[in-house]
Amino acid sequence: MGTRTMWWVAGLMACNGGNSDDTGGTETGVTTASSAMAFTDANNYSYTANLSLASIALAEGQDATVDWSALTTDYRGRTLDPLDIDQITVSNIGLPQADVIAAINTNGLAQNNIRDYRLAATASQTSIQLSETSILGNPFEPANDFLAIDGTSWLLTLWKENDRGLMEIVMSQFVVPTAGEPNTAVSFTNDSASLAFSADLSTATALRVPADSPPYSLDWSDVTTDVNGKPYDKLLGDTLRIAHTTLESPEALAAEFLRLDEVSDQTYYANVYGLLSLDDLSSAAAVDGTAFPGFTTGGTWVIGVECTQLSCFSPAPLILAVVEVE
């Protein structure tokens, strides 16, 4: 689940098939090390998600208090200070709860699924009334707006601004307006949402580069399918991420995949909205402005494209590959 904007690359040198032989041929599925990387479907990782969201009954047509003071981690297991929550949204989605979860798991929640949407800034707060949310000057009026509608779901979502100045989801849960229900309070806890996942960074063919050989480039124009099985959309893939972790294997990184921000010791970003290549990866930069200096040996490098827009609720990159450095 998230929000954002930036990403990547051009150049090319690909995977030549053929069985290895004594004349220097290349094994099938193995790429030749090159500073000009070509990302294809064969390089993309795999990922499956199983999101769980709590569901709380609230009095239909009544205002309610929403409290998140007890939060210490987000739904991805990252450390969280409840005073750092910057925004809350109240959304009525034209799908049953199970379908909402399925859509979020695969980044398939469409704008036309949202029937109603209100928000409020919450910096330095740990609670709010539903009636304090609004959109374009139109306040949320529980008596008229917070009603049970067949086939729809109400979703409360907390957002936090990340170190790039982009809003990303930290916790969500359903609320259900229910006739005759006396409850008018809902609390977020660390168990309000959880995301079980499986990430495989080892099966796909790694990109191979020589160490300390800039300029590095990347071309992903031959990618046809994103990690969710949908046609790759360059208008969704807006941010290139290059990350290094001291974890020594793709398998170790896969176990911490949703905490990539916390387990990476180097991370560089570039705006690649609408692009399918980036000629020089040194245009990617860390949050402090440090340009990407190049790939080095040791640890594990990954490179991929993410969707950081509000329409992308899944935190999983659209494409991602391990980079083997020689």
CATH code, 91: 2.60.40
Q: Are residues 189 and 62 in the same domain?
A: yes
Residue 274's domain comprises: 36-45+201-325
Q: Tell which residue, 271, 273, 274, 252, has the closest CA to residue 263.
A: 252
In a domain, 9, yes or no: no
Average pLDDT over all residues of the chain? 89
Q: Are residues 188 and 211 in the same domain?
A: no
Q: Percentage of the chain with pLDDT > 90? A: 79
Last residue of a domain, one of 175, 195, 215: 195
In a domain, 11, yes or no: no
pTM for this structure?
0.82
Q: Are residues 67 and 101 in the same domain?
A: yes
Q: Are residues 240 and 188 in the same domain?
A: no
The residue to which tokens 């294997």 are assigned: 249
Task: Label residue 257 by pLDDT band (50, 70, 90).
Answer: confident
Least confident of 135-139, 148-152, 172-176, 253-257: 253-257
In a domain, 301, yes or no: yes
Q: Are residues 215 and 274 in the same domain?
A: yes
Q: Are residues 124 and 256 in the same domain?
A: no
Q: Are residues 289 and 307 in the same domain?
A: yes
Last residue of a domain, one of 168, 195, 222: 195
In a domain, 26, yes or no: no
Q: Are residues 213 and 178 in the same domain?
A: no
Q: Are residues 102 and 235 in the same domain?
A: no
Could you read off the pLDDT of 295-322 as tens digits, one per residue? 999 999 999 999 998 778 888 999 999 9
Domain count within the chain: 2
160 has a pLDDT exceeding 50: yes
In a domain, 88, yes or no: yes
In a domain, 110, yes or no: yes
Task: Label residue 96 by pLDDT band (50, 70, 90).
Answer: very high
Residue 144: CB partners within 8 Å, gap ≥ 6?
61
Could you read off the pLDDT of 14-56 as tens digits, one per residue? 222 333 333 333 333 456 899 999 999 999 999 999 999 999 9
Q: Is the peptide bond before 96 cis (omega within 30 degrees of 0)?
A: no
Q: Are residues 216 and 283 in the same domain?
A: yes
In a domain, 28, yes or no: no
Task: Label residue 256 by pLDDT band (50, 70, 90).
Answer: confident
The reported pLDDT for the residue numbered 225 is 97
The reported pLDDT for the residue numbered 31 is 65
232 has a pLDDT exceeding 80: yes
Show the DSSP H helices in the chain as ranges. Answer: 97-105, 142-145, 250-255, 260-263
The reported pLDDT for the residue numbered 313 is 86
Residues 274, 234 contacting (CB under 8 angstroms): yes
Query: Which residues make beta-bridge pairs with 129?
Result: 65
Last residue of a domain, one of 195, 221, 251: 195
Q: Are residues 177 and 226 in the same domain?
A: no
Q: Are residues 107 and 149 in the same domain?
A: yes
Alpha-carbon Rg for the chain in angstroms = 22
9 has a pLDDT exceeding 70: no
Looking at residues 141-168, what average pLDDT do you find? 95
The reported pLDDT for the residue numbered 16 is 29
In a domain, 157, yes or no: yes
Residues 320, 239 contacting (CB under 8 angstroms): no
